[in-house]
Structure 1
């Protein structure tokens, strides 16, 4: 019965879109106690069944606007339940404030952190993970320390958590690009927790989608698909159009990586829905600043990659040529990545000579980029070209790059 109470608390909380921290605050308000003796950790213990609320049960019910009997009710059998982000939170509570009187944190420090986060994101446009991993981790550790040891108002605390979430997303992306996948996963999970505590469901969806993308690309396709769908589900229909387009793009990629005809069809359907979501974005409509890069061009990039993975070169090649013709050449890593998909699509289309020419550009661009993503794509392209090893242009390329 205790586990049913915990599951009911979690279900009712998530129906309201509340974080565990928000429910803790509401329970203390309902009990009319000061000092907030119930915190996020206690809510987590109740929801996981590690503790039973007992005397707090009437106040939990009041906070959630249900009866105590509703909290004690047996759970109905699970039928097609949607995945949620709650299962992807980190173990323990790395964002739990430490007792003591830390220095007072105000909006000025939060604004400074916001500027540094944005600067790191812009740097990632032109630098690779190997170049940025140290400053990214240093910034993240500093931000978490600031939150844990500082003192601040509730509003400043939420702003600080939001910036930690944004920082975790870009730091996780950088760690993943550097090939540090376990570290990236820990960072992403921390970010999901921070965003959910800040009640920023749009940001939580972005971080979860980033982790889903990594899982899909590192042999954990089933987990990647589950998490990509959870990111979309949890954000809900009220998420900004650009954000929904981004979530749907990642669902499309997760289906693509899962493989099989049905997943391929689901991927193409999600691409269509992403385009529809982006079309609903209107100029002047407020969106989070981190969505600055999501546009029709980015959707074409994902579409071209999906069609490449689905071995449909007649669709992929024109899309990739269109994307590359407009792309900023200073973004070396992305240029190498997109060219790698073009090389594979050309090989699939029976154009090995041109595929070898494009592959040579990929290798040249990747040589000075400290990115595990580009290194992996070089290996994929050379592997794909093995089928055409008797073509002189391909043979010469393969011989020159035997080590790769």
Structure 2
């Protein structure tokens, strides 16, 4: 029971964005005791199950604003393993139409409904993490493939269905990657790329190839990432919408930055900005590129300078982005703060880096994202370069106990 109780305390604390030290102070205040007999280390022992709160439990519950039963309740059983692409698609070529289609007739109305669901999934990804969305994303992908394979439809409708499968492949691949299923994500991206090419949509094919290039660059396959990002840009061609070219160049930027190639990365940054400057209302950019704007390019610029260990350029950019960022997008906020923590470490500001890192850890605690978990590990590894700084030491010790 103590293990469940500790996990419940940690969950409720994380939901309020409190540090362990903050909870300790609140418990002492609620209990009306002097001298803070409960400190951060004691809270850490509760949360890891090394010690049961016992007489402190009512004060903990009051401090967190929940009933005692909420903290004492057993945890829900773990969810079953995340699904894989094979769980949702037929064997062989999943896009191959059946020789005898027995399904219902499919028209543009059904395609429009599917398009709305795809867009809804993309909007959900703005605020939810991959672990929360992988199941509905793969179910939608299966349904779309089934509609194309089994439904009776015209050539034009079939082409539009393939386009929606391609869009689903891009967002479902992104979600799978965020959930830590990178092998699955690569298969999903390739399925979507096949659908986009069969539909004759070069802009969508470029988006899928660029998304896969981004993943490859992040998992140590930098040379492949550069080649694929460049290929995505070439496939789209000079006639691609300005936003699309800016995005593909964004992927090129990141691929070169991950490979440590400073000048190509900075040159591509300039080209991305120039491409976006040519965008105008009615420019023909697909709806799925709604998020590509000057703010997104500024984020990439800041991340690139962080990756290239140029903190004097990175820190002001990141502060500017974070000052106006939507705090409801918890995952992205944690990611952007993680780059700020790294940049501050590189700028030899370990105390401030530790403060930012504590917020990253708090925000990431209940986010089902492998990307944020990986960034937490990177931030902590960078802070280990400052073991003698008290604020850093306290943060590292606390992280080791959770």
TM-score by length of 1: 0.76
Alignment partners' CA distance in 2, 1:278 and 1:92: 40
Alignment partners' CA distance in 2, 1:109 and 1:360: 47
**In structure 2, what is the equivalent of residue 291 of structure 1?**
289
Alignment partners' CA distance in 2, 1:248 and 1:175: 23
Within the alignment, does 1:166 sit opposite 2:167 as a pair? yes
**In structure 2, what is the equivalent of residue 217 of structure 1?**
218
Within the alignment, does 1:365 sit opposite 2:366 as a pair? no
**In structure 1, what is the equivalent of residue 110 of structure 2?**
109
Distance 1:266 1:207, change over 3 A: same
> SS where residue 126 of structure 1 aligns?
coil
Alignment partners' CA distance in 1, 2:281 and 2:176: 33
Moved more, 354-363 or 92-101: 92-101
C-alpha displacement at 1:403, in angstroms?
A: 5.3
State how 1:290-329 maps to structure 2 within 5 Å. 290-329=288-327
Alignment partners' CA distance in 2, 1:219 and 1:284: 39
State how 1:184-333 maps to structure 2 within 5 Å. 184-259=185-260, 263-333=261-331
Count of residues paired in the alignment = 311
Within the alignment, does 1:387 sit opposite 2:385 as a pair? yes
Asked if the contact 2:299–2:321 (Cα under 8 Å) also holds between the matched residues in 1, the reply is: yes
> SS where residue 306 of structure 1 aligns?
helix
Structure 1: 5+ residue stretches without partners: 1-90
Alignment partners' CA distance in 2, 1:113 and 1:345: 42
Within the alignment, does 1:118 sit opposite 2:119 as a pair? yes
Asked if the contact 2:242–2:283 (Cα under 8 Å) also holds between the matched residues in 1, the reply is: no
Alignment partners' CA distance in 1, 2:356 and 2:296: 21
Alignment partners' CA distance in 2, 1:254 and 1:183: 21
Structure 2: 5+ residue stretches without partners: 1-90
Alignment partners' CA distance in 2, 1:402 and 1:199: 52
C-alpha displacement at 1:258, in angstroms?
A: 1.2
**In structure 2, what is the equivalent of residue 177 of structure 1?**
178
Alignment partners' CA distance in 2, 1:180 and 1:384: 25
**In structure 2, what is the equivalent of residue 21 of structure 1?**
none
Q: Which has the higher contact order (CA 8 A, sep 6+)?
A: 2
Q: State which of 359, 364, 376 in structure 2 corresponds to 1:378.
A: 376
State how 1:23-38 maps to structure 2 within 5 Å. none
Alignment partners' CA distance in 2, 1:190 and 1:101: 21
Asked if the contact 2:101–2:149 (Cα under 8 Å) also holds between the matched residues in 1, the reply is: no
Alignment partners' CA distance in 1, 2:105 and 2:94: 20
Runs of 4+ in 1 over 6 A off after TM superposition: none
